[in-house]
Amino acid sequence: METLVIILMILVCFNFLLKQTYQKWWTLVGISLAIALFMGFSWPYAIEQSKTQIHDWLNNPLLMLDTSVILNLEVIVQIGFCLLAANIMTTGKLSPRVIWCYRILRWFPGILILPVLFIGLVQLIFRFPGARFSVISWCYAGGLMVLIPAGAKFLHWLLPEKEVRLELLFLTNALIGVLGIVATVNGRTAVKGTGEMNLAAFAGISALAVLGAAAGYFIRKYKLQKLK
């Protein structure tokens, strides 16, 4: 379970940085400053957490279900941004309402990055038990103030094509949504598993797959010949 949550956190951070490649430089600085201030002032709440409490949260099915709802809502918003951006790239004139919706979704940085960075602050405090909590928190905030714009610019340099970044953003959001659903299961299944294999059903599915592939191949070949 912890491994799945770590993978989700990495994807959320990557998704956040990838989304920031679409921001203007002043918007990127403003978002980075807001996140840095949030982390800097959140140390009184971070010191109240413990490793056992975080472990209990991860193993609480009801809490994970609530978290999954928030996660999937953000995924829907980010996928909506991807669809609107693709529509703007491929369509000429659009209504002002669509443009404003696109701008609002583009400015929305996401809220999942905040709990992920907060967990990072908690873990950082655990690593330095003798240091002052406020110093650790503000050093962490200063590092984020530098790393967020630097990471966004690095991804923009690494993937200069806007279409490629948009497609990757869509895929990472879809993956986050799937992993969020898997995380809520938490090892529980709705039906009892079985070790027996239904050979007749497997043969039927395989035959349907082969027939569908053959039909698609011949239909495509016929259309290509018709175009010639």
The domains of the chain are located at: 2-185
Measured from the Cβ of residue 87, the count of other Cβ atoms closer than 10 Å reads 12
pLDDT of residue 43: 87
10: left (phi over 0), alpha (psi -120 to 50) or beta: alpha
Instruction: Of 93-97, 115-119, 146-150, 195-199, give the lowest mean pLDDT range.
Output: 195-199
Q: Return the minimum-mean-pLDDT range out of 114-118, 150-154, 216-220.
A: 216-220
Please report which confidence band the pLDDT of residue 16 belongs to, taking 50, 70 and 90 as the band edges: very high
pLDDT band at 194 (very low <50, low <70, confident <90, very high): low
**Alpha carbon distances (Å) from 26 to 34, 118, 150:** 12, 24, 14
Q: What is the pLDDT of residue 36?
A: 93
Residues 53-62, mean pLDDT to the nearest whole number:
70
How many angstroms separate the CA atoms of 148 and 39, rounded?
Answer: 13
CA distance 228 to 42: 67
- Separation of first and last alpha carbons in the chain: 56
Per-residue confidence (pLDDT) for residue 90, from 0 to 100: 81
CB 113 within 8 A of CB 16: yes
What is the model's pTM? 0.75
- The SS3 assignment for 61 reads helix
Name the residue among 130, 112, 126 with its Cα closest to residue 11.
Answer: 112
Whether 28 and 20 have beta carbons less than 8 Å apart is answered as yes
pLDDT tens string 89-143: 887 677 788 888 888 888 888 888 998 999 889 888 888 887 888 899 999 999 9
The closest alpha carbon to 103, from 84, 122, 76, belongs to: 84
